[in-house]
Each structure stands twice: as C-alpha cells, then as structure tokens.
Copies of this chain bind each other. A is one copy, B any other.
C-alpha cells in the first residue's frame, strides 16, 4: 500500500502539500494539484482511513440505530437503509448499522464509541430498547427519526402524520362521499390517535356526522382490517379510511367477500404507501412518508450537526406524500 509520503516524494512536494492537493479544501497551485493527483492515481494510492480519522477527528462514517422489528416485520427498515445508504453515499460518507436486538455481543454504546462514527441516525422507536437511550447522551451528533417527546434535547425529523391523514380523508370528501367510516390502529399508539383525530376533524369541518359505530379500532394487520370491515359493512358506508395499508388490504377482502367491489361500491384509502400499496389490486390510494426524502434530510441535518455540534435542537416536520390510485372513486349514484 502506497502512503502519502511516497505520493509526496514522487510529486516533488512535501507531505503537507500532497495532503492538501488530495483533500481539495485548501489553496494549492493548480498545476501542483494536478501533478499530485496524477501520481496518486498512478500509484493507486488510497488514504489510510484510520490515520486520516485520527489526525482530523472525523471518521467519515455515520451510524444507523434501527429496531430489528422494523427490518424484519416491516418494509420500513429496508426502505430506510436504502435511503440512508444513498444519501450517505452522495456525501461520501460510510454507513454503519446497529440493530437493537443485539444483546449477546457489544452494546450500541461500545460499537459506536471512540469516534468510529461522526454522527448517528436513530429511529425513535429504538429508544424503547434500554441500550439505546444512553448513546444520545454520549455527545455524538444525532438525529432522531419520528416522534419522541421525552428527548427535546435532540434533533427530530418526522413526517406530518396528522396532515397526511387529513389529505386522504379530504380526498374522499371531495369525491362526494358522505358516509365515511374508519378503521384505526391500536389507540394506545400516538400515530393511530393522530390519524383518527384527522378523520374526526375533516368530517366535522365538512358537516359530516361521526357516530361511535363508524369507528372500529383494530391492530394494523390485514386480518384485523378484514374483521373490522366486516363489522362496519352493515352501516353501508361508501368509503373507508384505514389507519394503515395492511388493514386496507384486509378490508378490501372483506368488501369482496360481501360481493361488493372496490371502488365501485366502496372507496378505500390507507396510510403508509409502502411498495405493496402500489402493486395491490386495485392499486391503493394512500399517503405516507417519503422515505427517500426523509433519509436525505436526515443526512443533510446530520452533516450540519457534525460541522457545528452546538446547533440548537429542532423538530423538523416533513410533508406526507399523497398518492391517488385506483381504490377511490365517486360514491355509487343511487
């Protein structure tokens, strides 16, 4: 492995100048820079990351702390890894990963300590894992993804749940639906409560009455959605707002089992907009996080924080992404 010393010697400059020519920030005569770069290229020189990191105090790597469940039971984890990997790569940053299940080996504290990463993206739900919270006190610049009111001292980044839910319900209203029911997620979860609230608000704003039997609490699974829809069907709704896409899939099945069609008889909207929503039959009208955007913003924010760790914590809210597809239409005319 050639070192910077060799590159410098063959270029006829000092190590300092070679370093400046290669890293690009400082002022170096153009001709010198070219010569050094050519020599480095011809030698196949790769700067030693450890040495660079030790001297500069920056590793050029960011870490992601993710609950294992979000990777195994949910498309979210894979999408997030994908997005962050892209965003990090665009800034020439490496990406390290730590999944919260790892008890037997090293803790997140150990694995991400000692300057191995310059910053951290932490999924808010990871804070339920007892090893994770302490790392936020470790002085590593961090961005928290999602909602976590207990840590107003760290930077937050999340998608507007409430406004997103409003979008889909307003869409149903604008199509002319009046009898709109809803299937919610578990109401001990903030996101489920917020989505229900958005439903209530929009209905009220449009002079549409909501009675308790129009709201069915379920569990974010397809089976739960099917069961809930079966119970709502006697009300003869023309549209349903489901608290997530999974339940919308189940609800669609229930509607078909009753001999009805989506969207001819009943329009249906979901929440999340994971890839399955697009390939579903019919493709589901839904709203969700733009995970690519979220990832990009997270890395941008982290880069700012790494450059200036004293930045005051902010709670940044991104707009939700609304996708009108084929599961919604006008209510039946009679």
Contacts and interface: CB of A to CB of B under 8 A. Distances in A.
Interface of A: 46-54, 59, 61, 68, 71-72, 77-79, 81-82, 85-86, 88-92, 94-99, 101-102, 104-106, 110-111, 113-116, 275
Given A78-B71, A113-B46, A96 B99 contact: no
A77 to B, nearest CB: 7
Contacts of A82: 68, 71-72, 99
A61 B105 contact: no
Total copies of this chain within the assembly: 2
24 contacts: A49-B50, A49-B59, A49-B113, A49-B114, A49-B116, A50-B50, A52-B114, A61-B96, A78-B78, A81-B97, A82-B99, A85-B97, A85-B98, A85-B99, A88-B105, A89-B98, A89-B105, A90-B104, A91-B105, A92-B106, A92-B110, A94-B96, A95-B97, A97-B97
Closest 10 A-B residue pairs measured CB to CB?
A: A89-B105, A50-B53, A50-B54, A89-B102, A46-B113, A49-B114, A49-B116, A90-B105, A46-B114, A85-B99
A224 to B, nearest CB: 14
A102 B78 contact: no
Contact of A115 (B49, B79, B92, B96): B49
Contact of A89 (B47, B72, B111, B113): B111
Contacts of A50: 49-51, 53-54, 59, 114-116
A149 to B, nearest CB: 28
A105 B299 CA distance: 14
Contacts of A275: 72
Q: Which of A51, A72, A114, A275 has the most CB of B within 10 A?
A: A114
A97 B83 CA distance: 12
B54 A114 contact: no
A86 B115 contact: no
Given A49-B115, A92-B106, A96-B96, 11 more contacts: A46-B110, A47-B114, A50-B114, A54-B54, A61-B96, A85-B97, A85-B102, A88-B105, A90-B105, A92-B105, A92-B110
A105 B104 CA distance: 35
A189 B105 CA distance: 38
Contacts of A96: 61, 94-97
Contacts of A102: 85-86, 89-90
Given A48-B54, A86-B101, A94 B111 contact: yes
